Structure formats: C-alpha cells, structure tokens
C-alpha cells in the first residue's frame, strides 16, 4: 500500500524534473533528493510489507512512511493545481489547444517563473526531506531489496461462480425439504429456519443455491432477500421487503406506517423471506417484524443465516441447520476446480502441492476459494511450493484477529497498486452492494491509477477491478442484461481484513461526519443528518486535502461558496439533494473529475463557468428534469466520458450550441440532446467521431419548431452517429422525410434498438428492414403515416404486396433479427402490407407484436400467420373501424384483445374444424362491448390461462372451456358470466345449462380462479363444480358476500386472497384464515 503512494509521488516528481525548466536551483535539488530517497525506499517495501505481520517496528516504520508519502502527494498536487489555475485564468479569452490539454503534466512547461510560488514549493520539499531523514535507518530494520513479483495482468481467467458449491448436497436437500414440508409448520404462522455456521462456511452461498431450486421457485409466490448485517435496522429491513414485494419504495419512516405497508405487502402471499447475516437479537425488533409478516399465506417461510446459534434459538427457530466444515476431499475438489481447470502443464506435480494447500484451509470454503484463485495465477511449481511452506499459515493461526491465512497470502501476492485499491473498499459498509463504476471513480479520485488525465483511467480501473475479482476478493457479482459485471459485494471476513489494513489510514479515509478529526482526510461521506450549509462550511475549512466529498441524500438545499477551498477535490456527489442551483465557485475546483447530480429534481441551472472544469470526466445528470439550458463552455470539457444530457440554447442566447460537442470524442455510454429545433449546422457536432457512444436520444420540441421543414431535416441529417451506436431514440422531429442514414445498414450496422416518437409530419417510414442487427423497433405517434408498405421493408415504394417482376427479386431477409415490434397511436394509418414474394423472407425471428390505436386500419396484414416465430400478439383498436382481428397463427402462445368496439356479430358464425391457434396458452379479452359469443377458434386445446374483462353482452351460449385450462379470471361486467359460469363449463353443445347433474368434467387442471371489480353479491352459479381450485382471488368486489360453507367443495385450496371486498372483510374476518374458516379438512393444511 505504501509502495503505491510512493509510486504516485515519484510519477509527479519525474514530470516536474523533466518538464519544468524554470525550477529554481534549490527547488530542483530538493525535488531530486526526494525522488532519490523514495526510489531507495521503494526497493525494500515488498519485504517490509510481509514482515510487518510479525515485526511491530517495521509496521510502525511503514505507517510513518505512508503519512509522509501522503503529505508529499498533497504538496505536489498543490503545485500542479496552482499551475492549472494560472493557465485557466490566462485562457479566459480563448481556447487552449487540444494538444496542451491532452497531457496535464505538460502544463509545467507552460508556467511563467514565479519566485514566490517556487520558494513556497521549495520550502515544503525541504520539510518533507527532513521528515524522511528522521525515519529509522532501513539497515536497522534488516530489510532487503527484492525483485518485484507482480504477476502480469490476468486476461483469460473467469470469475469464480458463487453458485458453485462443493460438499453441500445433503445440506441443500435437508433445507429444501423443510421449506416444502407442511408438517414443519407447527404452531408458528410463518416458520423460521435458521442456518448457523462459522464465518466463511458458505451460509449465504448455500441459500442462494436453494433459492434457485426449481421446487422452491415453484412453491413460493414471492422470493425476497434482505442482508441484515449489523445493526438490525428495522426500518431498512422493512422498506427492503416492501420494495421487493410490491416494487414500490416507501418514503415513510414512522414505524406504524411502515408496519401497515409491510403487512399489506405480504398479505395472503406465500413468500420465502431470507434474512441474511443476522448478528444481533433484539426481542422488540423481532416481535415487530414477526407481527408485520404474520399475514402471509399459509406455507410462507423465513430463513435466517447467522454465526451465533444463540440468536437462532432466541428467535424461536422451527428448525436449526448447523453448517459444518468441508472434508479434506471436498476441499481438494473445490480447490482443483478453481486452481487447475485452465492448467495443462505440470498438472501432476501441482496436484501434489495443491492437495496440501487445500487441506491447510481446514474445511473453510471461503479460504479454499481465495487461495485457489491465487494459485490459478501462479505459473511455476516453485511459486506453489512457496505458498505451501509460507510461515503465514502458522502465524495467522495464532493471530488475535482470526483472519484466514489464505486472505493474507492473497493480499501479499497483490501488486502494490491493487493493495491500495483493496483496502480502500472499506468506505463501503459491510455487506453493501458495490457499484463497479462508482468504485472505479472513487479509486480514480484518490489518484490510485495516475494523475495524468490523458490516460484512459476508467479502462485501467476496470483492469484493477477484474484482477481483484479473479482473486475472489469480491463475490456475489451483479450483471446487466448483456452479462457484464456491474456490481459485487465483499465477504464479511474479507471486509474485516480490509478494515484492519485501513486502520493505519483512518485519518485518511472516513465515511461519515460523526467526528472530523484530521485535516488530512481524503474521503468524507456525510450522513443524512447533515442539513445546514453552515455546518458543511465548518467541515470545509478543516478538510483541505479532500479528494472525495459525498453529500448525497442529505437535506442540504445549498452548497456554500467556500466549496472552492477544496482544491484537491476530484469527486463531488450531490445526488438526491434539494439544491436548485450550484454556486459559481464550484467552477474553481479545477481538479474535479466527477460531478454527480443524479435525481437532483429541484436543480434549475448549472453554473455558467462550468467550462473551467477542464479535468471533468463524468457529469451525471440522470433524473434532472428542470434544467432550461446547458451553459456555454461545453467545448472546453474535452475530457468528458459521461454526459447524461445536453440542453441546447437558442442561437445568440445563454445556452451552449450544437457545435460545442465537436471536441467531446471521449463520450461513452448514453447521450441525450434536447432542444434540437434550435440547432444550426448540426454537422459541427461530429457525432460520427464519437465511437464510444452506445445510446443516443435526439429530442426536438414540437411547440418551438418553425415551418422550415428543410432546415429541421438538415439538422437531423447532420446528426448521423458513429457506426458503433446500438440504441437510437428520436422524438418530436417535424421534418417531412427521415435522413437516408437512418435506414442504412452501412451507417448503422450495430443498431439494436430504435424508437421513433411524435414525428407527426413524416408521411413515409424509412426502410428499416435492411438494418441487419435491429432487434427492437418502436413506432409511436407517427401521425401522418398512412400506409406501411414495401418502403418500410427496404423494397422501395412499390404499392401493394407484389410487383410484376417478382422473379427478378434476389433472395433477401428483411428485419433478420427483429424480435419485438410495437406500432402505437398511428391514427392515420389505413394500410399495412407484408410484401411476401419469391426470394423475400420477412420477420424470421419476430416474437412479440403490439398494435395499439391504429384507428383507420381496417385489417391486419393477412400474411401475419406465415410468421413461424410469432408467440405474442397484443391488439388495442380503440375507436377503430375493426373487422375480425384474428388471423391464423401457428405458434402463437399469448393473445391480448383490448378495445374492440365493433367486434361482434361477424364472429358468431360456425367455425371450421380445427383451431387457427393450436399453441395458444394465454388469452386476454377486454373491453369488447358488442361481442356476444366468444369465438370457438380462440379456445385452443393448449389454452392454460383465460381472462375475460368488461364484455357486457356475453350471452349464455359460449364455447366450452378447454379441458387443460389452469387459470380463469373474470373482471368487471362480463354479461351472463357475471352471474353464472355454467355456459363456459357446459359449452354451446349442452342442451340445458341449468342441468348440473352428472357433470363429469370438473376441470381437474383449473387450479386458479379470480373475480375482480364485480358488482355481484354472490359467487357465480356453477362455481361449486370447480373442485380442483388451489388459489382463489377476489379483488374490488364491493357487494360480494359468501360464507366458509361455500368453499367446502375445495379440498385442494391453498391460498385465498381477499382485497377491497368490504362486506366479506366486515362480516367474515375469519374468512381470510383457511383454518378458522372451517376448512380443516383440506388435506393440504
């Protein structure tokens, strides 16, 4: 760790000595002396960092040396900042060349000679050298110089999968059995299963595997996970459960309100709740939580993991599962899987040593995983033998802190730069989810990579993160939809070790404001209680060395002007605060790299001088909706990597112009440009050069566009992005034609997602069919498009579905990868053609089609039935001139028919034999006011789920339900079906619907029945014939009333949900509890 700080100091010193020609002789001499001393010391640091485990004198020497190194770093950073400030002020009237800004340290050569500044710098160098001279002589510590043993950066190893467990098959079986076994219920409404084991034994990983078990996922309606840790924060735990159960994040903090929300969120739901890593037991907290959860459906379970069996007993566990250590053979299998799976040579010899190393882990899975990950990076037999014979195994077994030897061995094998990054992770609380990008920005702010802003620091940070991950120092990786790692956690034992390492730097890194005791602090994270600018101002005057200031989620409404005293600041986080403006003095933070303003919903303006933040790399504005413009000076921020949005100003006004984007070629990720109707000469933005941009949103304001359509068209034409773009969104464009690049596979070869919205003056759709990688296409509110024809597929503007020269058409696949197509609110569209012809294949992979409010479209293209992959169709034709909305779909699995006002008499004809949708499994029919008889062809034998809602004209003559139906839901007014379901049970062929005798078809697969928004006062006639029901759900039935006696025919009933049914809840409160409802004879109880 000390070596990493010294490396940064030496880097800065080298640049000063090489590029600053105006250094006074005395200053140069002191700088050279400091560089020589640090170079000498760095040679013995590897030996010193290993010996500090057993040698208190070496440990004290390293701590003293680290403090001096940090002070030297601050002095050099002061010097660099002074130079940067001078240059920026000199540049107020013009731009510095891009070449100058590309390398920050070259600024030294631009500084004019200033004896006062040089003398001040020189005196500080003398002080640093004198302090180094007081450090104990290296010879007295018996330290020796070593060749660096840093491994090359691994690039092929994969992260260890946390779900891969060894030796826990019996444990999984036992716990799953207890989760599914109804006899384990006893007298507890929600039984508690406790998993107890020593730290590192894999309790969390075991439960993660259990939650992926198919029997478990099928048995529970809700799976929820809360990491409790310490202390047991009841408010946080309750909010997390509510969020996972409902999807909403409660803002209330009063326990009574939280209790009501929590009780409601789990009411009558069969849930499995995991409370991971419970450290403490407070009887009052546990009582409150149990009371709130007792309304869960029968069969719900709670699992806790804890190291302390006394906690499990005091929480009245129904079952305690004690997790033991792995056997030697299991340890070896686990070790071999990680350390040797990519190894080809020396396998036999390495196996002999590997077994001995694995057995030294004494059955602790975490120890095996960490040491095996380390060994996978070591190449030679000698290196393996060094680890096996290391005295750290013996030293750590006697250590008072109880750290695993494998963690220490892995730490000492880290290159110096990774040691520093590793220990810094203690700024995250134990068990916290660590966002990968956030961690990299924090490392970058502390200068762990370099202070050279011309380098790709984010890429270096990614390498560092991956390196630590490959060594299993991170775990529980979170991935995005493309499989990229975006977050992780640290195991408690690893976090404890990192915290132990960081004790020597406790005055450097602190993550709360409860005590501010050191002016050398480099990381300061305020608590939510920080609510006044005056209080923050007092901290600012003390903390002059800060690199990171985190004020997110505090109650601050104003940032004090004195913030510019924090000259070293690299990262400022103001996310989720109530500030409506930022002080102009923030623009004097010349070293600032990251400014986070996420969800500052009250923020109305950015400081006008923001262009002075030349080192700014990340400006995060997601959730900032009230900005009226982006200030001028954007073009000076050519180090930017993240720029969430830009709001253009009017020509000649305050705001920035489109041409200011020209130099921002490092921008990556997503960019949103608003106010494009005011843009002029959009080509100056040179979006084609921004190769790291993946998502682009282009927004025009419909209200502010003039009648000059050609000018608007030229604006969009000039915004052609780089070919790497994957996602494009265009809104409010009022041109008559789209630019040619929008439908060119040459221009957009990597486009995956395309959305067009509110482009109301365009009469013709571009030829999107030629985009070879397009997967999702959304067309919303294109109010002037009258037809979807050949031009849409990239076949030109030929009218109709065929041409006279079909034979001349070459073989082509149109929309080759499109799987989702949504066409919404195109009110003028009258025709839609599918130009099937010889040699032309269309939509070969289309799975989901949504057509909503195409009011003038008379019919869907008849060729839709030819699409062999179409599995889901949703039709909403409110106000349309609809005819029969159904075609022949051979593989369709889900069909939603909504708002079919004219759908009625024409479907009541006799149908042919067979089914036009043989694979249909889910059917929803809603708001069809004229339909009287449900079409027989919709009732496929494969149908499993049927929802009928608001079809008031349904009569007693209906087709019979398919025999394999599993779920039936009736909502609002469903005509005669509101009173009786006999027409669906008996079918059209039944001569007497009222004859309920000798009905052999009781629908043995129909296990779920729901009624919602009904005004009926009783259960529908024929309900007593449905004997296989397991789940009953009644919602918003104002007048519904029935007694427990009406449910006696349901021996398999497991769940009963009643919500907003006031008569039931008032007259029969016991109906919500199956046991007290007189249903004890149900075998499932």
Going by their DSSP bridges, the two strands 727-731 and 669-674 should be labelled as: unpaired
312, 174: one domain: yes
Q: How confident is the model at residue 755 (pLDDT cuts 50, 70, 90)?
A: very high
Q: Is the pLDDT of residue 340 over 60?
A: yes
Q: Is the pLDDT of residue 347 over 80?
A: no
332, 318: one domain: no
Phi and psi, residue 366, nearest 5°: -60, -40
Q: Is the pLDDT of residue 880 over 60?
A: no
Q: Which residues pair with 509 in a beta bridge?
A: 523
Tokens 């608003």 belong to 674
CB atoms within 10 A of CB 30: 21
**Contact criterion met (CB below 8 Å) for 794 and 817:** no
**Total tally of structural domains belonging to the chain:** 5
219, 316: one domain: yes
**Contact criterion met (CB below 8 Å) for 249 and 277:** no
Q: How confident is the model at residue 642 (pLDDT cuts 50, 70, 90)?
A: very high
**Contact criterion met (CB below 8 Å) for 673 and 698:** yes
**Contact criterion met (CB below 8 Å) for 250 and 242:** yes
C-alpha span between 817 and 469 (Å, rounded): 34
313, 174: one domain: yes
pLDDT digit string, tens, across residues 656-674: 999 999 999 999 999 999 9
* 716-745 mean pLDDT: 95
**Contact criterion met (CB below 8 Å) for 406 and 459:** no
Q: Is the pLDDT of residue 807 over 70?
A: no
Classify residue 90: in a domain, yes or no: yes
Which of 294, 312, 316 has its CA nearest to residue 304?
A: 312
Average pLDDT value over all residues in the chain = 83
CA distances to 281, 676, 717, 726, 765 from 720, in Å = 61, 14, 6, 13, 18
Here the contacts of 679-686 (C-beta below 8 Å, separation 24 or greater) are 679/648, 679/715, 680/651, 680/715, 681/718, 682/658, 682/714, 682/715, 682/716, 682/717, 682/718, 682/719, 683/718, 684/658, 684/659, 684/718, 685/658, 685/659, 685/661, 685/718, 685/719, 686/661, 686/662
**Contact criterion met (CB below 8 Å) for 900 and 859:** no
Q: How confident is the model at residue 244 (pLDDT cuts 50, 70, 90)?
A: very high
Q: Which CATH number goes with the domain that contains 494?
A: 1.10.10
Of 414, 437, 454, the domain-final residue: 414
Classify residue 158: in a domain, yes or no: no
pLDDT digit string, tens, across residues 19-47: 665 666 677 888 888 888 888 888 888 78
C-alpha span between 165 and 523 (Å, rounded): 37
Answer left, alpha or beta for residue 652, where phi above 0 means left and psi between -120 and 50 means alpha. left
Which of 7, 8, 39, 13 has its CA nearest to residue 28?
A: 13
Classify residue 638: in a domain, yes or no: no
Classify residue 532: in a domain, yes or no: no
Of 322, 338, 361, the domain-final residue: 322
Please tell me whether residue 820 adopts helix, strand or coil conformation: strand
> For position 1002, what pLDDT does the model report?
66
Going by their DSSP bridges, the two strands 475-479 and 485-489 should be labelled as: antiparallel
957, 1076: one domain: yes
46, 191: one domain: no
> For position 969, what pLDDT does the model report?
95
387, 436: one domain: no
C-alpha span between 408 and 404 (Å, rounded): 7
Q: Is the pLDDT of residue 1079 over 80?
A: no
> For position 847, what pLDDT does the model report?
95
H or E stretch including 305?
A: strand 301-306
pLDDT digit string, tens, across residues 457-486: 999 999 999 999 988 899 889 988 888 899
Q: Is the pLDDT of residue 117 over 50?
A: yes
Which of 1034, 1020, 1079, 1036 has its CA nearest to residue 1054?
A: 1079
C-alpha span between 1027 and 1003 (Å, rounded): 8
DSSP 1019-1064: PPBTGGG-----EEEEES-TT----GGGGTT-TT--EEEEES-HHH
Q: Which CATH number goes with the domain that contains 302?
A: 3.40.50.300
**Contact criterion met (CB below 8 Å) for 758 and 702:** yes
Q: Sort 211 into a burial class: Cβ within 10 Å, 0-12 / 13-18 / 19+.
A: middle
Classify residue 62: in a domain, yes or no: yes
C-alpha span between 267 and 290 (Å, rounded): 13
Classify residue 272: in a domain, yes or no: yes
Q: How confident is the model at residue 348 (pLDDT cuts 50, 70, 90)?
A: confident
C-alpha span between 110 and 275 (Å, rounded): 60
Phi and psi, residue 770, nearest 5°: -85, -5
C-alpha span between 191 and 270 (Å, rounded): 12
> For position 666, what pLDDT does the model report?
94
C-alpha span between 244 and 246 (Å, rounded): 6
* 265-278 mean pLDDT: 90
C-alpha span between 53 and 126 (Å, rounded): 32
Contacts of 21 (CB under 8 A, 6+ apart): 109
192, 314: one domain: yes
269, 285: one domain: yes
Contacts of 634 (CB under 8 A, 6+ apart): 610, 611, 646, 656, 660, 661, 664
> For position 863, what pLDDT does the model report?
81
C-alpha span between 443 and 437 (Å, rounded): 10
- Look up the domain containing 476 and give its range: 425-505
DSSP 206-254: HHHHHHT-HHHHHH-SEEEEEEEESS--HHHHHHHHHHHHHS-------
Which of 271, 279, 318, 313 has its CA nearest to residue 295?
A: 271
Alpha-helical runs (H) found in 750-866: 790-793
> For position 434, what pLDDT does the model report?
95
**Contact criterion met (CB below 8 Å) for 958 and 934:** yes
68, 101: one domain: yes
- Tell me, letter by letter, the H, E, C secondary structure of 149-187: CCCCCCCCCCCCCCCCCCCCHHHHHHHHHHHHCHHHCCC
Tokens 């109650």 belong to 555
pTM reported for the whole predicted model: 0.83
pLDDT digit string, tens, across residues 141-174: 778 776 655 444 444 444 555 556 778 888 999 9
> For position 998, what pLDDT does the model report?
40
Q: What share of the chain is helix, strand, coil (3-state, %, to 5)?
A: 35, 15, 50
Percent of the chain with pLDDT over 90: 42
**Contact criterion met (CB below 8 Å) for 252 and 258:** yes
pLDDT digit string, tens, across residues 935-981: 888 888 899 999 999 999 998 888 888 888 999 999 999 999 999 99
> For position 122, what pLDDT does the model report?
80
CB atoms within 10 A of CB 671: 23
Q: Sort 905 into a burial class: Cβ within 10 Å, 0-12 / 13-18 / 19+.
A: exposed
Q: Is the pLDDT of residue 422 over 50?
A: yes
Classify residue 1030: in a domain, yes or no: yes
Tokens of 135: 């450090």
Tokens of 791: 């031009």
Classify residue 153: in a domain, yes or no: no
pLDDT digit string, tens, across residues 884-906: 455 678 889 999 999 887 776 55
pLDDT digit string, tens, across residues 569-625: 999 999 999 999 999 999 999 999 999 999 999 999 999 999 999 999 999 999 999
Here the contacts of 876-881 (C-beta below 8 Å, separation 24 or greater) are 876/850, 876/851, 876/852, 877/851, 877/853, 877/901, 878/853, 878/927, 879/853, 879/855, 880/853, 880/854, 880/855, 880/856, 881/855, 881/856, 881/857
72, 182: one domain: no
**Contact criterion met (CB below 8 Å) for 325 and 293:** no
More confident residue, 48 or 816: 816
Contacts of 487 (CB under 8 A, 6+ apart): 433, 434, 435, 436, 477, 478
**Maximum Cα–Cα distance across the chain:** 112
Q: Sort 478 into a burial class: Cβ within 10 Å, 0-12 / 13-18 / 19+.
A: middle
Mean pLDDT is highest, among 174-188, 389-403, 659-673, 1046-1060, for 659-673
* 741-757 mean pLDDT: 96
**Contact criterion met (CB below 8 Å) for 825 and 853:** yes
Of 367, 383, 414, the domain-final residue: 414
Which of 264, 249, 240, 255 has its CA nearest to residue 287?
A: 255
364, 486: one domain: no
Contacts of 539 (CB under 8 A, 6+ apart): 513, 516, 524
More confident residue, 1073 or 636: 636
């Amino acid at each position: 760790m000390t070596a990493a700080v010294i490396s940064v100091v030496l880097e800065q010193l080298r640049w000063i000595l090489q590029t600053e020609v105006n250094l006074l002789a005395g200053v140069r001499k002191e700088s050279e002396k400091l560089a020589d001393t640090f170079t000498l010391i760095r040679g013995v640091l590897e030996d010193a960092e290993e010996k500090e485990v057993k040698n208190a004198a070496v440990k004290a020497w390293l701590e003293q040396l680290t403090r001096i190194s940090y002070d030297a770093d601050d002095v050099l950073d002061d010097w660099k900042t002074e130079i940067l400030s001078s240059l920026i002020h000199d540049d107020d009237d013009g731009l510095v060349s891009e070449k100058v800004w590309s390398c920050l340290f070259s600024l030294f050569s631009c500084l004019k000679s200033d004896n006062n500044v040089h003398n001040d710098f020189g005196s500080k160098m003398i002080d640093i050298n004198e302090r180094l001279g007081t450090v104990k002589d290296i010879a007295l510590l018996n330290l020796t110089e070593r060749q660096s043993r840093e491994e090359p950066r691994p690039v092929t190893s994969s992260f260890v999968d946390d779900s891969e467990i060894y030796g826990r098959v019996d444990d999984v079986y036992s716990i799953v059995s207890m989760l599914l076994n109804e006899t384990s219920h006893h007298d507890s409404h929600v039984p508690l299963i406790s998993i107890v084991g020593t730290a590192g034994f894999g309790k969390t990983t075991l439960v993660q595997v259990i939650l992926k078990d198919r029997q478990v996922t099928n048995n529970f309606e809700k799976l929820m996970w809360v990491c409790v840790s310490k202390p047991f924060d009841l408010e946080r735990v309750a909010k997390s459960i509510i969020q996972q159960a409902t999807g909403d994040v409660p803002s209330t903090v009063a326990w009574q309100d939280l209790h009501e929300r929590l009780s409601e969120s789990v009411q009558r739901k069969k849930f499995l709740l995991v409370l991971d890593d419970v450290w403490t037991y407070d009887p009052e907290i546990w009582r409150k939580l149990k009371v709130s959860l007792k309304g869960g459906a029968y069969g719900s379970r709670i699992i806790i993991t804890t190291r302390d069996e006394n906690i499990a007993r005091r929480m009245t566990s129904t079952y305690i599962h004690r997790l033991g250590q792995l056997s030697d053979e299991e340890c070896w299998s686990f070790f071999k899987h990680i350390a040797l799976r990519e190894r080809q040579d020396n396998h036999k010899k390495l196996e002999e040593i590997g077994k001995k190393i694995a057995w030294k882990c004494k059955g602790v899975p975490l120890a095996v995983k960490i040491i095996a990950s380390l060994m996978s990076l070591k190449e030679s037999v000698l290196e393996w033998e060094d680890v096996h014979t290391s005295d750290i195994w013996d030293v750590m077994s006697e250590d008072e802190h109880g750290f695993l030897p494998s963690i220490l061995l892995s730490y000492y094998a880290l290159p110096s730069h990774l040691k520093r990054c590793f220990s810094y992770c203690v700024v995250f609380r134990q068990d916290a989810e660590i966002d990968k990008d956030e961690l990299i920005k924090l490392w970058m702010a502390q200068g762990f990579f370099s202070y050279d802003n011309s380098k790709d620091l984010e890429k270096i940070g990614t390498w560092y993160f991956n390196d630590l991950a490959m060594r299993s120092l991170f775990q529980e990786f979170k991935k995005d939809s493309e499989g990229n790692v975006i977050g992780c956690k640290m195991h408690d034992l690893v976090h404890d070790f990192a915290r132990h390492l960081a004790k020597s730097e406790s005055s450097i890194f602190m993550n709360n404001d409860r005590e501010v005791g050191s002016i050398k602090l480099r990381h300061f994270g305020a608590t939510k209680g920080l609510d006044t600018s005056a209080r923050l101002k007092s901290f600012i005057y003390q903390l002059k060395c800060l690199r990171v200031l985190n004020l997110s989620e505090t109650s601050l409404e104003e940032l004090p002007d004195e913030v510019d005293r924090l000259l070293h600041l690299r990262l400022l986080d103001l996310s989720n605060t109530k500030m409506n403006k930022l002080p102009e003095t923030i623009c004097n933070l010349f070293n600032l790299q990251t400014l986070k303003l996420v969800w500052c919903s009250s923020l109305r303006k950015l400081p006008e001088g923001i262009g002075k933040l030349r080192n700014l790399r990340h400006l995060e504005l997601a959730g900032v909706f009230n900005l009226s413009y982006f200030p001028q000076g954007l073009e000076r921020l050519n180090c930017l990597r993240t720029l969430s949005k830009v709001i253009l100003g009017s020509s000649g006004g305050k705001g920035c112009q489109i041409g200011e984007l020209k130099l921002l070629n490092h921008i990556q990720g997503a960019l949103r440009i608003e106010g494009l109707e005011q843009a002029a000469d959009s080509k100056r933005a040179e979006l084609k050069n921004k190769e790291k941009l993946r998502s682009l949103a282009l927004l025009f304001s419909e209200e502010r566009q003039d009648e000059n359509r050609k000018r608007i068209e030229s604006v969009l034409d000039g915004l052609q992005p780089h070919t790497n773009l994957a996602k494009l969104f265009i809104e409010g464009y009022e041109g008559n034609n789209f630019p040619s690049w929008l439908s060119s596979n040459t221009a957009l070869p990597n486009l995956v997602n395309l959305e067009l919205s509110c482009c109301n003056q365009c009469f013709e759709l571009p030829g999107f069919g030629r985009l070879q990688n397009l997967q999702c296409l959304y067309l919303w509110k294109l109010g002037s498009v009258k037809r979807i024809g050949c031009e849409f597929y990239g076949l030109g503007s030929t009218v109709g579905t065929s041409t006279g020269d079909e034979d001349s058409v070459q073989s082509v696949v149109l929309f080759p990868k499109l799987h989702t197509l949504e066409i919404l609110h195109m009110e003028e569209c009258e025709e839609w053609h599918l130009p099937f012809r010889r040699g032309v294949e269309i939509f070969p992979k289309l799975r989901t089609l949504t057509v909503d409010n195409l009011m003038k479209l008379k019919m869907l293209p008849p060729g839709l039935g030819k699409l062999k992959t179409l599995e889901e169709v949703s039709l909403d034709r409110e106000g349309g001139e609809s005819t029969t909305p159904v075609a022949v779909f051979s593989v369709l699995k889900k069909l939603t028919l909504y708002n079919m006002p004219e759908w009625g008499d024409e479907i009541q004809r006799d149908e042919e034999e067979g089914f036009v949708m043989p694979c249909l499994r889910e059917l929803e029919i809603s708001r069809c006011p004229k339909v009287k008889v449900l079409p027989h062809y919709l009732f496929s034998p494969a149908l499993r789920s049927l929802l009928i809602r608001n079809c008031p004209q349904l009569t007693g003559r209906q087709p019979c339900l398919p025999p394999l139906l599993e779920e039936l839901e009736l909502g609002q007014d469903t005509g005669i079906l509101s009173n009786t379901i006999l027409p669906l049970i008996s079918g059209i062929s039944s001569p007497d619907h009222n004859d309920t005798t000798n009905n052999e078809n009781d629908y043995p697969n129909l296990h779920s029945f729901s009624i919602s928004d009904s005004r009926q006062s009783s259960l529908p006639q024929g309900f007593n014939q449905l004997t296989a029901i397991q789940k009953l759900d009644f919602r918003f039935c104002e007048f519904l009333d029935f007694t427990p006696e009406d449910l006696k025919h349901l021996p398999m009933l497991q769940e009963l949900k009643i919500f907003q049914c006031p008569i039931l809840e008032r007259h029969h409160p016991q109906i919500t509890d199956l046991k007290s409802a007189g249903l004890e004879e149900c075998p499932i109880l």
